Structure 1
Amino acid sequence: MRADKRDCAALKLVTFNIWHNQGDWNARRPLLVAALRAQDADIIALQEVLEDADVGLENQAQMLARELGGYHVAFVSTDPKGGARRYGNALLTRLPILAEDSVKLEPLDDFRTALRLRVEVQGRPVDVVATHLAWQDDAGPVRAQQIASLLDWLPQDVTPLVVMGDFNADQQDPGLATMTGPRFFSALPRSSAVTTLNPAKGHPNRVIDHIFAETTSFAPEEARIFGDVPIKGEYPSDHFGVAATIKLK
């Protein structure tokens, strides 16, 4: 008997902290476009996305969507809409969109957000969330509060869920206990990457960029880092991207 198509519905995902316009942005921009194009992802989560009219910088997520072609852009920022400078997170997708929402995460004084798209994957709804959590080494309790705020905000309707982004913590961090517990799995196994921070940009080796998917709804297929090889001495970002394919059960 042939399996139902829903049993093998693959979802290709990427998360990438693009380091806004730091470093040599003009050199990094084509490398970033090429790195993302090579992943051929259904959904791309971006962190540290900037638009700044004062320096002539268009919204970087909009630029990437245009260069890649075929992607809808959702963007969230704690900066006021219509402001000259806005900084935040984005989701790009080429899948049908059923709903879009965003929230400011508790505690509000850390200025963190979550962005959700409900997309259709072979006729089935899937929620994909992008976020970027507190960065301080001792901010485990804050990250735990931000994750709790995020999960409480989501619709409680058992729609399959993926949460991805820059969590600013490795999987051993107590603040990520909810994401590393039985409800979720990491699409990028701990043993498969030494770091998602770029040592060439002065960072220590740490895997802090993650794609977490619900265990009851998805099965891991494959995952890897990308953007980790310099081209003419330059990298796309001060992070490496994470690309993964997961399958709906």
Structure 2
Amino acid sequence: MTPRTMTPPTMTPPTTTTDLRVVTLNVWHTRGDATARTALINAELRRLNPDLVALQEVLPGQLPDLVEGTGLHATHQSQTAETQPPYADRYGGTAIATRWPHRVVETLDQRGTDAPDVPWLTLAALVPLPGLGEVLFLAPTTSFRLDAEAQRERQVLALCDLDARHRTALPTLMAGDFNADPDASSIRYLTGRQSLAGRSTHFHDAWEVAGTGPGHTWTTDNPNATEDIELLARQPRHHRRLDYVFVGSPHAHPHSFAHVRRAALAFHEPTDDVWPSDHYGVAADLTMGLLTPA
């Protein structure tokens, strides 16, 4: 029997594309000089002029000040969740902000008996892009402890189920603090390098596609991070890439694309000795479009 050759469908060039800037930052709630830090974050958001923003560890009352004057539409998890998890009043929660009015379609609570101390919920929102239709934007935060990779594995599996429930034709965009470096099983799973629980998936890691250097976002080079690094790692030098922008794969979105043109650190420099957060953020520039079968 002669084997058949599988030929991918021919696609015509896209007729409409949209350039997007996606940004993520762990805000560090109200630690340190919160007033000065909020002003720095707001100024950087204005300068970056992003289209989709994922924010972690944000108190509800902080959010209006963070996005003031940016033109972004913002939603905090407290506005969509049926109940608020413990510690959210101290450590804040997840928020998203988008250039165009969005619609939150699900708020996912990733706590469990193996991860009871995660007050940051995951927001899933549909965002209309001019000329292209809606894109799914996921803003998660996973368990933070160094020994919590089993919990993070469970959480990324749930993120993929969340994507499947609300996925659109356009590549899903996912941004947040994943508390795991690129070699961790949870990140390897998301980038298609290993399976979990008999399952596999694939997202592009924007930094891997278009970033330069190690891209560390939680590091003792940032004095705001040193206290918690000493508490959690107890090492004088600690550098990890924990914050990501992920882009849906052509395997899940065969008739569209999201080309990553650039990925860079953001919120990573002090002003007058004030650092914006204990994390550095990530900004990724994309070009998104639909392909039409010939």
Q: By the TM > 0.5 criterion, same fold?
A: yes
- Summarize the alignment of residues 1-249 of structure 1 with structure 2, pairs less than 5 Å apart: 4-6=14-16, 8-51=17-60, 59-65=61-67, 67-77=68-78, 80=84, 85=89, 87-107=92-112, 109-111=116-118, 112-122=120-130, 123-156=132-165, 158-159=167-168, 160-181=171-192, 183-189=202-208, 191-198=212-219, 199-201=221-223, 202=226, 203=229, 204-216=238-250, 217-249=257-289
2:32 is aligned with what amino acid?
A: G
Please, which moves more after superposition, 196-205 or 132-141?
196-205
1:117-158 deviations in Å (ceiling 9; x for gaps): 101112321001111111111211110101111221334464
1:200 is aligned with what amino acid?
A: N
Distance 1:200 1:143 in 2: 25
- Bigger share in strand: 1
1:151 is aligned with what amino acid?
A: C
Q: Among all aligned residue pairs of Structure 1 and Structure 2, give the percentage whose two residues are the same amino acid.
A: 30
2:97 is aligned with what amino acid?
A: L
CA contact (8 A) 2:73 2:101 kept: no
Question: Which has the greater radius of gyration?
Answer: 2
Aligned partner of residue 182 in structure 2, secondary structure:
coil
1:247 Cα deviation after fit: 1.9
CA contact (8 A) 1:16 1:241 kept: yes
2:222 is aligned with what amino acid?
A: A
1:61 is aligned with what amino acid?
A: L
Change (3 A) 1:158 1:18: closer
Change (3 A) 1:141 1:80: closer
CA contact (8 A) 1:194 1:205 kept: no
Aligned partner of residue 259 in structure 2, secondary structure:
strand
1:189-218 deviations in Å (ceiling 9; x for gaps): 265344111422215211100001112132
Normalised TM-score (structure 2): 0.73
Change (3 A) 1:154 1:185: closer
1:17-74 deviations in Å (ceiling 9; x for gaps): 01011011122121111111111100111000014xxxxxxx2122222x23322111
Normalised TM-score (structure 1): 0.86
Distance 2:142 2:153 in 1: 9
Please, which moves more after superposition, 109-118 or 218-227?
109-118
Please, which moves more after superposition, 107-116 or 39-48?
107-116
CA contact (8 A) 2:110 2:142 kept: no
Aligned Cα root-mean-square deviation (Å): 2.5
1:158-205 deviations in Å (ceiling 9; x for gaps): 412111100001111112222121621111126534411142221521
CA contact (8 A) 2:37 2:277 kept: yes
Change (3 A) 1:22 1:158: closer
- Structure 2, unpaired ranges of 5+: 1-11, 193-200, 230-237, 251-256, 290-294
CA contact (8 A) 1:105 1:150 kept: no
